[in-house]
């Protein structure tokens, strides 16, 4: 394989320069993704991640030795070594290992292969990274940044308020259908990872901004026309001027703009940063960990427990700053 530079931009160029995906590999990947959805209810984002990982490996392999289905253990190790040499991050490689293990276990179950070449691919040891949360004053500044005299600004304010009030993932937020919010009861119905549904209460502020958005901004963004349903048959709650739901990427960019206007480092003001802020601020104010698990939609309490480390660090800083013997 030819050596290529390892920056993110170079890897994007590499992806366009790799050989086209062979038909046999494309079929194998398609069957696997369909089976993962049918058997395990795999979320769309996870399906897309599996597909990207396997397609890139298949292109790198370029049909050698029977293509994707014929790869042996040595080839998998060679590919991982190649990625390491070209600057792929540990988390990206960990996700790749998960994709490969799931794909080859699927082939073994189907009887396509008798052995599993990915069985001994141990995940890399990842550094434990703590969520980066905004301070409460930073969140207030970010929420106040959109120009609410415009329909787009009022929409952005309502989205920011809802994300912070309910701790939503960005994919959950932009994908909310219009009937997901019940302002009379003060709850939002969220469809999370794996198709799991949860009800999250709303605060008065987020309800107020949602009411203003629905009464003032949404009709203007819709242009007085009926809003078309998406592929799943849902009418989106939040709209662009094209009467469609905002994309995750577009919403990310809008947060960066509002963060810059509020004097906040855009690298810390991210959609996931707002979700982290929601969780951290609740814990700092005494919320129960299991309640937080339900609000965030975490399948396992161990996923939620990382926030206790953030809260503990906050308490340690307060102790050091204010205690006579801190």
218-273: pLDDT as tens digits? 999 999 888 998 877 889 999 999 999 999 899 989 999 999 999 998 777 888 88
The answer to whether residue 1 sits within a structural domain is no
Q: Is pLDDT at 290 greater than 80 in this prediction? A: no
The answer to whether residue 41 sits within a structural domain is yes
Same domain for 169 and 290? yes
Domain extent, residue 105, equals 8-110
Long-range contacts of 295-298 (CB under 8 A, 24+ apart): 295/166, 295/167, 295/198, 295/200, 296/167, 297/169, 297/190, 297/192, 297/193, 297/196, 297/198
Q: Is pLDDT at 16 greater than 50 in this prediction? A: no
Token pair listed for 313: 């660090």
Q: Is pLDDT at 10 greater than 80 in this prediction? A: no
Same domain for 202 and 91? no
Over residues 32-60, mean pLDDT: 88
Same domain for 203 and 302? yes
The answer to whether residue 154 sits within a structural domain is yes
The answer to whether residue 185 sits within a structural domain is yes
The answer to whether residue 223 sits within a structural domain is yes
State residue 192's pLDDT score: 80
Q: Any residues with CB less than 8 A from the CB of 219 and at least 6 apart, and which?
A: none
Burial pattern 283-320, b for ≥16 Cβ within 10 A else e, equals: bbeebeeeebbebbbbeeeeebeebeebbeebeeeeee
Same domain for 92 and 187? no
Same domain for 181 and 264? yes
As a whole number of angstroms, the distance between CA 30 and CA 250 comes to 28
Same domain for 317 and 178? yes
Same domain for 156 and 243? yes
User: Which residue, 65, 95, 110, sits at the end of a domain?
Assistant: 110
Same domain for 170 and 71? no
For 309, the 3-state DSSP assignment is: helix
Same domain for 149 and 188? yes
The answer to whether residue 121 sits within a structural domain is no
Q: Is pLDDT at 321 greater than 70 in this prediction? A: no
Token pair listed for 130: 């703590």
In this prediction, residue 154 has a pLDDT band, given cuts at 50, 70 and 90, of: very high
Same domain for 181 and 298? yes
Q: What is the pLDDT of residues 77-97, one digit of tens each?
A: 899 888 888 888 888 888 899
State residue 281's pLDDT score: 82
Same domain for 151 and 53? no
Q: How many residues does the chain have?
A: 326
Q: Is pLDDT at 1 greater than 50 in this prediction? A: no
Q: Residue 50 is part of a domain; what is its CATH number? A: 1.10.150
User: Which residue, 110, 125, 146, sits at the end of a domain?
Assistant: 110
Q: Is pLDDT at 213 greater than 70 in this prediction? A: yes
CB 202 within 8 A of CB 164: no
In this prediction, residue 313 has a pLDDT band, given cuts at 50, 70 and 90, of: low
> Number of structural domains, the chain?
2
Same domain for 172 and 101? no
User: Which residue, 110, 127, 156, sits at the end of a domain?
Assistant: 110
- Catalytic sites, residue numbers: 169, 193, 272, 275, 298, 307
Q: Any residues with CB less than 8 A from the CB of 177 and at least 6 apart, and which?
A: 234, 235, 236, 237
DSSP 167-196: T--HHHHHT-BGGGEETTTTEEEEE-GGG-
């Amino acid at each position: 394989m030819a050596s290529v530079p390892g920056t993110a931009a170079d890897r994007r160029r590499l992806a366009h320069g790799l050989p086209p995906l062979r038909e046999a590999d494309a079929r194998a990947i398609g069957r696997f993704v369909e089976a993962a959805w049918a058997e395990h209810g795999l979320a769309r984002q996870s399906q897309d991640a599996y597909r990207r990982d396997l397609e890139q490996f298949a292109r790198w392999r370029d049909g050698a030795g029977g293509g994707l289905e014929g790869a042996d253990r040595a080839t998998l190790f060679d590919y991982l070594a190649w990625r390491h040499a070209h600057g792929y991050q540990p988390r990206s490689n960990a996700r790749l290992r998960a994709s490969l293990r799931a794909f080859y276990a699927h082939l073994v179950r189907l009887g396509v292969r008798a052995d599993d070449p990915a069985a001994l691919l141990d995940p890399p040891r990842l550094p434990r990274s703590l969520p980066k949360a905004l301070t409460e004053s930073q969140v207030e500044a970010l929420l106040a940044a959109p120009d609410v005299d415009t329909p787009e600004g009022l929409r952005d304010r309502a989205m920011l308020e809802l994300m912070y009030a309910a701790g939503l993932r960005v994919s959950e937020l932009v994908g909310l259908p219009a009937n997901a919010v019940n302002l009379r009861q003060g709850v939002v119905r969220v469809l999370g990872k794996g198709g799991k549904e949860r009800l999250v209460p709303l605060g008065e502020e987020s309800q107020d901004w949602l009411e203003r958005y629905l009464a003032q901004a949404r009709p203007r963004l819709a242009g007085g026309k009926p809003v078309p349903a998406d592929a799943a048959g849902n009418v989106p709650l939040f709209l662009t001027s094209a009467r469609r739901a905002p994309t995750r990427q577009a919403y990310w960019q809008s947060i960066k703009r509002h963060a810059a206007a509020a004097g906040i480092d855009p690298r810390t003001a991210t959609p996931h940063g707002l979700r982290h802020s929601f969780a951290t601020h609740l814990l700092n104010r005494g919320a129960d960990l299991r309640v937080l698990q339900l609000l965030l939609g975490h399948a396992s309490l161990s996923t939620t427990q990382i926030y206790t480390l953030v809260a503990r660090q906050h308490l340690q800083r307060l102790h050091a700053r204010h205690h006579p013997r801190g």
